């Protein structure tokens, strides 16, 4: 279905698919049938989407979790599937198929939740799986926002999309490096799921409003998505700066210091990191959080 009617049907379908279950979930929360998860200790700022939205999405995916638990799928297989979906998303965005891309973005983000849940349910969580998941997440981010860069090539929004990509990597890297030293500060406005949710909603609304303001031109500007990218660039930058400052403050508060030096017994090209405090040593030895997000 194409044209104005297609835009209306796709947008209403998108809204109904997520809004109706959200209202049902809200009623269950109010009646006590569903209890919200406790808020985690805040690190580098409050989250954009709090426990209510997180609880809602996990509740919505409940049947999928149960079906996957009975299947022969492994967490790593789901992780690799996420990579394929991200590649398709990149192509859809780069070629201007924003409505299709919106579903692919949400689908890819959902698979990223499923693989972690599957690992816990089947007791298959491993450090290797966590490493693979985190690495694939970064590739997926590059593909998705890289598609935005391609679509908006030659316009100022291209640079905005590049900023979103760079700052997304910065937010995730700052967290992973902090956790290496035993500092857990995973909060902040722009978690990976938050970025994908904002982008997915913008892509879903883009065609409806874009075609009404610009007509069915060969390469619409899609102001809704452009505006969402500007918002993401701004909030990603704030999150990255806050996370860096917060982590540095934790180093100062705990008196953690590390020094890089070459030991005589080590190969000349190997740099060894020596924690200078018991707290840092424990942090360096701690288990990496399972199925790391961004």
Structural domain boundaries in the chain: 39-285
Residue 275: CB partners within 8 Å, gap ≥ 6?
Answer: 181, 256, 258, 281, 283, 284
Residue 266 confidence (pLDDT) above 60:
no
| pLDDT one-digit tens code per residue, 198-253 | 999 999 999 999 988 888 888 999 999 999 999 999 999 999 998 888 888 888 88
- The band of 276, judged by pLDDT with boundaries at 50, 70 and 90, is very low
Determine contact, residues 235/221, Cβ cutoff 8 Å: no
197 pLDDT tier (thresholds 50, 70, 90): very high
What was the pLDDT predicted at 43?
A: 62
Q: What angle, rounded to 10 degrees, do the helices at 223-254 and 192-214 form? A: 160
**Could you say which DSSP state residue 43 is in?**
B
Q: How confident is the model at residue 39 (pLDDT cuts 50, 70, 90)?
A: low
The architecture (CATH level 2) of 39-285 comes to Up-down Bundle (1.20)
- Token pair 């409505």 is at which residue? 99
């Amino acid at each position: 279905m194409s044209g104005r009617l297609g835009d209306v049907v796709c947008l209403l379908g998108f809204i109904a698919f997520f809004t109706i279950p959200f209202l049902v979930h809200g009623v269950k929360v109010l009646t006590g049938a569903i209890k919200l998860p406790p808020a985690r200790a805040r690190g580098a700022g409050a989250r954009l989407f709090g426990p209510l939205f997180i609880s809602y999405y996990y509740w919505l995916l409940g049947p999928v979790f149960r079906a996957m638990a009975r299947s022969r799928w492994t967490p790593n297989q789901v992780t690799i599937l996420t990579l394929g979906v991200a590649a398709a998303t990149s192509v859809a965005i780069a070629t201007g198929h924003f409505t299709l891309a919106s579903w692919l973005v949400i689908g890819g983000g959902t698979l990223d939740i499923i693989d972690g849940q599957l690992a816990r349910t089947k007791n298959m969580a491993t450090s290797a799986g966590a490493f693979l998941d985190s690495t694939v997440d970064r590739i997926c981010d590059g593909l998705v926002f890289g598609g935005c860069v391609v679509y908006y090539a030659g316009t100022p929004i291209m640079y905005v999309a590049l900023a979103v990509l760079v700052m997304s990597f910065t937010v995730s890297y700052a967290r992973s490096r902090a956790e290496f030293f035993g500092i857990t500060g995973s909060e902040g406005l722009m978690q990976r799921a938050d970025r994908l949710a904002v982008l997915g909603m913008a892509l879903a609304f883009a065609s409806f409003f874009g075609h009404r303001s610009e007509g069915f031109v060969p390469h619409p500007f899609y102001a809704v998505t452009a505006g969402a990218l500007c918002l993401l660039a701004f909030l990603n930058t704030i999150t990255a700066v806050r996370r860096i400052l917060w982590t540095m403050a934790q180093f100062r508060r705990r008196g953690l210091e590390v020094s890089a030096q070459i030991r005589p017994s080590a190969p000349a090209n190997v740099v060894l990191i020596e924690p200078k405090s018991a707290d840092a040593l424990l942090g360096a030895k701690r288990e990496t959080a399972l199925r790391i997000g961004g």
